[in-house]
Structure 1
Amino acid sequence: MRGFALTVLLLVFLDELAVMAAFGAWGWHTDGGLRWLLVVLAPVAAMLVWFFFASPKARYGGRLARPVVKVIVFGLGSAALWSIGAHGWALALLLGSLVVNALAQTPPVLRVLRELEAQEERRSSL
């Protein structure tokens, strides 16, 4: 089960990278002189929102805020892909995100996640 849990956690991380790439792709497909700025700023803005509200150690994340922000970020990332005409990728990102994040809430994955967090706390207290 540990292998399954670690695989799911890796897929969650790759899913988060994919949504950031979706925001960058949206920025790239923007017309005008703002293209290069949006390629950088759109993913950075999404990363900041993720950092403050949805990451495991989010300062403002909570039992309600974390899942709501995740839905918003993955939804907007999928909408960004849809808006540039990448409909298949948009659906793949949305459905993949739903599946991977649902798997991340299963007991074996949560147990391994708690073990990893406990190891990290022990290391940081040394």
Structure 2
Amino acid sequence: MRDDPGVGAIFGWSVLALVFVDELLAVAAFGVWGWDHDPRWLLVWLLPLVAMAAWFLFASPKARFGGTWVRPIVKVVVFGLASLALWDAGHEDWAVALLVFSVVVNALALLPSIRVLVEEQQL
């Protein structure tokens, strides 16, 4: 059953779904930080929008300005700042959980069998 390509594809797409959940959690973390700071009405939606724009332009699989070095650097910055934002907002346990989750799912997404799934979708 290990050689069944269906099992590998299910695992790969599950990892990619978790990567997407991780991205949503990072955006939410910026919103949480914005909620705790003034001007709340501005930061609560502006910071998540800035994070989404950075991700769209530099870190997404089809990023216009992403590259061999830019994409991983922006990912580290976004997830690192999201974890720091949660920490600063008083959610230390969630900050650590987000950071660990981000490292694990993004490391799994680098596996060759999972990267192939992303590359197939870009064709």
* Alignment partner, residue 14 of structure 1: 21
Unmatched segments (≥5 aa) in structure 2: 1-7
Residue number among 12, 23, 26 corresponding to 2:30 in the alignment? 23
* Aligned residue number for residue 115 of structure 1: 120
1:76 maps to what in 2? 81
How far the C-alpha of 1:115 sits from its partner, in A, is 2.2
2:84 is the alignment partner of 1:43: no
Task: For 2:33, give the aligned amino acid.
Answer: W
Alignment deviations for residues 18-56 of structure 1 (CA, whole Å, 9 cap, x no partner): 0000000000011x4x10110000000111111111111
Q: Which residue type is aligned with residue 119 of structure 2?
A: R
What is the SS of the residue equivalent to 1:61?
A: coil
Local SS of the residue matching 1:57: coil
* Structure 1 gap segments, 5+ residues each: 119-126
CA positional deviation for 1:116? 2.4
Per the normalisation by structure 1, the TM-score is 0.89
Q: Which one is further off, 91-100 or 51-60?
A: 51-60
Look up the equivalent residue of 1:54 and give its one-letter code: A
- Among candidates 106, 117, 120, match of residue 101 of structure 1: 106
Percent identical: 55
Distance 2:43 2:18 in 1: 26
Q: Indicate the SS of the match to 2:71.
A: helix
Runs of 4+ displaced beyond 4 Å: none
Q: What letter is aligned with 1:84?
A: A
Structure 1 counterpart of 2:97, which letter? A
Q: CA RMSD in A?
A: 0.8
One-letter amino acid of the structure 2 residue matched with residue 105 of structure 1? L
Distance across 1 between alignment mates of 2:118 and 2:45: 31
